[in-house]
């Protein structure tokens, strides 16, 4: 317990903004607010401009400040123009800064001003509950947290956010599928402290449900039907919404496991993960060749898309490739998709074996299904695809068939040469596959590994598999 | 329909004994009966001697006559001496003929007199229902059939027996696990004809239940609980017994499928299967090598045991080897055990692949099982057996482990070098494995193939897989 307090105290010192930080950020936020207001005027757009997010709620991390400026537009603006108007104004307001277009429900702009990440996001000015776009709720979230979150709890929010960042479960964007800042604030509102929050997740069994405003008091069944997710946090400003609905199971369970590990052996490492150092190339080659499994890498060069769209397409394509391999009997051990969002995108599939047998057993109908048996015999009794049979095994007909694809790489090449749209590959990936399909196996990946340090670090940690915090805590035992 | 009648008429002509056959068999049976009676006298054994079985019931096949002589002994003879006394008398009664010891519940003698198979079997002379040994029922079966089976139906029984012989589903001994003669008689008693019997089996769905004496009329539920088998024929002389209980599903379903095929395209082939001609050695080598699967043969030389014991041990060992391979992740496509009951016994396993990957995925507990997760992490976090992980996948911990056995042949060698008793190998086989374990792979079997014509024929038809009657009927379509 003392260890836990010592660790959180140490971390808190680093992540709490100093008075100077606050002055600087406040000035920057106000300046941006004014610039945005001016840009609106110039473009003849009527809008209420507000600072939202962690700055407004004083839950930002000193080392990673982020400013969210919201333009609340009148509902007379057509839905399809909302994004474009927002982008135009945001570009003007942050002129001269580095700008990245992003996408949630509609596009918005991310800019880097004085090294601070700034998001300028449009939404509608509506009454609570009359939502027109997904971001309309944000100002209400800000108001709710400002009103209910005691000053003494802001440090706890900071600790939770930093912890989630450390274990790579922070952020609601598609790439991460983790915990949003607002979700962190609600968790602290409910559990009252960082340590209690971790204790609650460490004790996870089946489901965690939080309903701060008690909207479903006495109606638990209704709540269960409405929200099937394993983690449910009812939005205090919208009882029909689960704030945690976008949290991927993987991220939820990572928090569960990391909470257990941290409570057992608290360590600042959880908040400040050690950097992975990529294995020397020869060592990598060795490991890949001697592991006794097969790694297949599908490499794509630059894909033109904002990160959220890119990741959406990468994940969709990963699912499609996964299904394709499994439908053809290849046994997947593990998989991942990696991207630097710029020059390189990589799908990794680790298979038990690259090659399957040339023949496989194919179960036919049980003898009691007379019609199906007849069809089965008509189809297979003299078919070229049959290696052996039909024969009776127990109560059913069985045949041994030639396998269509015995090589996973050949399967992928064949099914992706037209891009793989039929197999479920996402549009942008399909285009890229069609133009240049690059598949490399095992240590053939060293070329990319040598060229790209980030990819090398990713692959090194993929090979180990162990989360860094498991290495740390186990070493301490 | 005309075709069916033409076929059965033709077959019936061949399998019905001529008057001369009857005279000859009657004389032989009487002679044996007298010899047995004399042997009893000589040994001071008080016994009632009767001719039972197909001769007594006039349901024997002209081409394959078989004489069953029963010694009914007084219940004063101790149970454990029954077999020995029976053997002693039988040996004396058939002195000079070729003799083979056999085993049902107790040992009995099979002899070949004038090319006729003769069984001399001891049992107790008891009242109906007061059974002391399994064979005590036989005289009652004879009486029941003699009384109820109309003369006009005896040909139908002969047809059914011959059909079952043709498709290799006739005979209740352990090797076959098929239909007994008595079962055939009861089926004809119930269905009234060979064709109707086949129609009933062709229409098989879920279960066939026959209760000629109506013991369970109105008590179907009780009957279902008592007899879980897919084919139930209540013994008219013992309502607690299912005459079909020893019929293996494989044999039942072979009858179902063959009935359908025969009714569709009646042919004398079903009764007189064409002889398999073994493939030329080079062709066999080719097929084994190019099939794309792996054949593993375990060969045993002569095992000293009566056939029923031998087959019991062979089947038990086959199940043990099957389990051993599956527990180690090898994918079985097909298997068989073959024996000439003399010089050679062979287990055949056809696997998808002989070699597995060096590593495999091992699923751990779901995160919600806290204690199990802790044990899992304690076990695997720093274990040498781990290739990668532990990592979280979805809601559970997972590790990648080194596989213990990657070569099926090595697995078998290792586990059988002490005979394999721990793996469930039957005693006689274990002894043989311990002394000389011979495992050959794919075309390495050609040596045995070349030396043993019966084995060659077996392997040829195993490779095809197709039952002969499927080849015949499909070819006719």
Domain architecture of chain A: domains with CATH: 15-134 (3.30.460.10), 149-273 (1.10.1410.30), 281-355+406-476 (3.30.70.590), 363-402 (no CATH)
Q: Which of residues 128-147 of B touch A (CB under 8 A)?
A: none
Residue A475 has pLDDT above 70, yes or no: no
Q: What is the mean pLDDT of residues A253-264?
A: 97
Instruction: Supply the pLDDT for residue A472.
Output: 57
Which one, of A77, A60, A65, A71, lies nearest residue A35 by Cα? A71
- Chain A residue with minimum CA distance to B460: A388
Inspect the interface and report whether the beta carbons of A352 and B359 lie closer than 8 Å. yes
Residue B168 has pLDDT above 90, yes or no: yes
Backbone CA torsion sign across B155, B157, B162, B163: positive
Which residues in chain B are contacts of A291 at CB distance < 8 A? Answer: 358-359, 387-388
Instruction: Supply the pLDDT for residue B181.
Output: 97
What percent of chain A is modeled with pLDDT above 70? Answer: 99
Q: Which of residues 271-300 of B touch A (CB under 8 A)?
A: 291-294
Inspect the interface and report whether the beta carbons of B357 and A470 lie closer than 8 Å. no
Residue A95 has pLDDT above 80, yes or no: yes
Inspect the interface and report whether the beta carbons of A465 and B381 lie closer than 8 Å. no
Of B256, B333, B392, the CB nearest to A257: B392
Inspect the interface and report whether the beta carbons of A370 and B260 lie closer than 8 Å. yes
SS3 A249: helix
| pLDDT per residue as tens digits for the range A46-68 | 999 999 999 999 999 999 999 99
Instruction: Supply the pLDDT for residue B2.
Output: 84
Inspect the interface and report whether the beta carbons of A395 and B357 lie closer than 8 Å. no
Q: What is the mean pLDDT of residues A432-454?
A: 94
**Angle, in degrees to the nearest 10, between helices B307-327 and B408-416:** 130
Which residues in chain B are contacts of A400 at CB distance < 8 A? Answer: 293, 333-334, 465
Spell B399-414 as b/e; 16+ CB within 10 A means b.
bbbebebbebbebbee
Token pair of B476 as six digits: 């006719």
| pLDDT per residue as tens digits for the range B262-308 | 999 999 999 999 998 999 999 999 999 999 999 999 999 999 998 88
Q: What is the mean pLDDT of residues B409-416?
A: 97
Burial class from Cβ neighbours inside 10 Å (0-12, 13-18, 19+) for residue B58 reads middle
Instruction: Supply the pLDDT for residue B197.
Output: 98
Taking the Cβ of residue B385 and every Cβ of chain A, the question of whether any pair is shorter than 8 Å is answered with: no
Count of CB pairs separated by less than 8 Å, A with B: 165
Residue B471 has pLDDT above 90, yes or no: no
Of B253, B260, B467, the CB nearest to A395: B253
Inspect the interface and report whether the beta carbons of B249 and A406 lie closer than 8 Å. no
CA distance A468 to A466: 6
Inspect the interface and report whether the beta carbons of A391 and B361 lie closer than 8 Å. no
Instruction: Supply the pLDDT for residue B101.
Output: 87
Inspect the interface and report whether the beta carbons of B392 and A470 lie closer than 8 Å. no
What percent of chain B is modeled with pLDDT above 90? Answer: 90
**What average pLDDT does the structure give for chain A?**
94
| pLDDT per residue as tens digits for the range B68-84 | 999 999 999 998 899 89
Q: What is the mean pLDDT of residues A183-192?
A: 98
Instruction: Supply the pLDDT for residue B238.
Output: 96
Which residues in chain A are contacts of B352 at CB distance < 8 A? Answer: 356-357, 359-361
B308: CB partners within 8 A, 6+ apart: B102, B103, B104, B173, B174, B175
Q: What is the mean pLDDT of residues B315-329?
A: 97
Residue B436 has pLDDT above 80, yes or no: yes
Mean pLDDT lowest among A140-154, B89-103, B362-376: B89-103
Inspect the interface and report whether the beta carbons of A356 and B353 lie closer than 8 Å. yes
Q: What is the mean pLDDT of residues A260-276?
A: 95
Residue B476 has pLDDT above 50, yes or no: no
Inspect the interface and report whether the beta carbons of A333 and B400 lie closer than 8 Å. yes
Which residues in chain A are contacts of B392 at CB distance < 8 A? Answer: 250, 253-254, 257, 467
- Chain B residue with minimum CA distance to A400: B333
Inspect the interface and report whether the beta carbons of B359 and A387 lie closer than 8 Å. no
Taking the Cβ of residue A352 and every Cβ of chain B, the question of whether any pair is shorter than 8 Å is answered with: yes
| pLDDT per residue as tens digits for the range A240-252 | 999 999 999 999 9
Which residues in chain A are contacts of B256 at CB distance < 8 A? Answer: 367
Residue A477 has pLDDT above 50, yes or no: no
Taking the Cβ of residue A406 and every Cβ of chain B, the question of whether any pair is shorter than 8 Å is answered with: yes
Inspect the interface and report whether the beta carbons of B334 and A291 lie closer than 8 Å. no
Residue B237 has pLDDT above 50, yes or no: yes
| pLDDT per residue as tens digits for the range B438-452 | 999 999 999 999 999
Which one, of B116, B15, B20, B30, lies nearest residue B62 by Cα? B15
Inspect the interface and report whether the beta carbons of B367 and A463 lie closer than 8 Å. no
Residue to test with chain B: of A200, A381, A388, A394, most B Cβ within 10 A: A388
Which residues in chain B are contacts of A202 at CB distance < 8 A? Answer: 370
Which one, of A74, A83, A80, A115, lies nearest residue A97 by Cα? A115
- Chain A residue with minimum CA distance to B465: A389
CA distance A185 to B13: 93
Instruction: Supply the pLDDT for residue B1.
Output: 63
Residue A383 distance to chain B (closest CA, Å): 12
Instruction: Supply the pLDDT for residue B472.
Output: 57
Of A294, A357, A396, the CB nearest to B353: A357
Inspect the interface and report whether the beta carbons of B334 and A293 lie closer than 8 Å. no
| pLDDT per residue as tens digits for the range A379-420 | 999 999 999 999 999 999 999 999 999 999 999 999 999 999
Residue B389 distance to chain A (closest CA, Å): 4
Band (B379; pLDDT cuts 50, 70, 90): very high
Task: Please state the ipTM of this predicted complex.
Answer: 0.90
Band (A1; pLDDT cuts 50, 70, 90): low
């Amino acid at each position: 317990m003392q260890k836990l307090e010592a660790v959180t105290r140490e971390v808190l010192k680093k992540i709490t903004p100093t008075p100077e930080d606050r002055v600087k950020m406040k000035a920057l936020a106000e300046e941006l607010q004014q610039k945005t207001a001016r840009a609106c005027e110039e473009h003849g757009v009527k809008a209420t401009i507000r600072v939202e997010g962690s700055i407004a709620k004083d839950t930002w991390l000193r080392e990673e400040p982020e400013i969210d400026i919201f333009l609340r537009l009148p509902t007379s603006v057509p839905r399809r123009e909302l994004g474009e108007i927002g982008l135009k104004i945001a570009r003007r307001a942050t002129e001269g800064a580095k700008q990245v277009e992003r996408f949630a429900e509609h596009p918005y702009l991310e800019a880097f001003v004085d090294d601070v990440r700034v998001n300028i996001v449009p939404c509608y000015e509506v009454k609570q509950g009359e939502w027109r776009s997904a971001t309309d709720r944000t100002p209400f979230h800000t108001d709710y947290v400002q009103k209910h979150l005691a000053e003494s709890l802001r440090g706890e929010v900071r600790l939770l956010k930093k912890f989630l960042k450390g274990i790579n479960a922070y952020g609601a964007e598609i790439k991460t599928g983790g915990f949003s800042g607002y979700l962190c604030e609600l968790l602290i509102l409910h559990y009252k402290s960082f340590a209690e929050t971790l204790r609650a997740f460490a004790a996870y069994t089946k489901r965690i449900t939080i309903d701060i405003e008690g909207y479903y008091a006495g109606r638990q069944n209704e709540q269960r039907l409405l929200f099937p997710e394993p983690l449910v946090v009812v939005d205090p400003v919208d009882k029909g919404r689960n704030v945690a609905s976008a949290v991927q199971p993987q991220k939820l369970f990572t928090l569960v496991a990391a909470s257990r590990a941290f409570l057992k052996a608290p360590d600042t490492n959880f908040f400040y993960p050690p950097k992975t150092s990529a294995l020397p190339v020869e060592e990598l080659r060795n490991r890949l060749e001697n592991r006794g499994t097969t790694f297949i890498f599908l490499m794509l060069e630059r894909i033109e898309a904002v990160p959220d769209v890119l990741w959406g397409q990468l994940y969709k394509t990963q699912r499609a490739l996964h299904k394709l391999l499994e439908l053809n009997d290849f046994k997947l051990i593990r998989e991942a998709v990696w991207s630097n969002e710029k020059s390189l995108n990589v799908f990794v599939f680790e298979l038990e074996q690259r090659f399957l047998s040339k023949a496989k057993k194919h179960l036919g109908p049980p003898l009691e299904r007379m019609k199906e048996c007849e069809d089965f015999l008509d189809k297979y009794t003299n078919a070229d695809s049959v290696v052996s049979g039909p024969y009776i095994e127990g109560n059913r007909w069985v045949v041994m068939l030639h396998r269509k694809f015995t090589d996973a790489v050949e399967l992928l090449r064949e099914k992706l040469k037209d891009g793989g749209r039929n197999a479920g590959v996402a549009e942008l990936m399909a285009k890229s596959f069609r133009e240049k399909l690059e598949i490399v196996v095992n240590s053939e990946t060293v070329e990319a590994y040598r060229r790209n340090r980030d990819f090398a670090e990713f692959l090194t940690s993929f090979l180990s598999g162990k989360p860094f915090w498991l290495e740390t805590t186990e070493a301490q035992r």
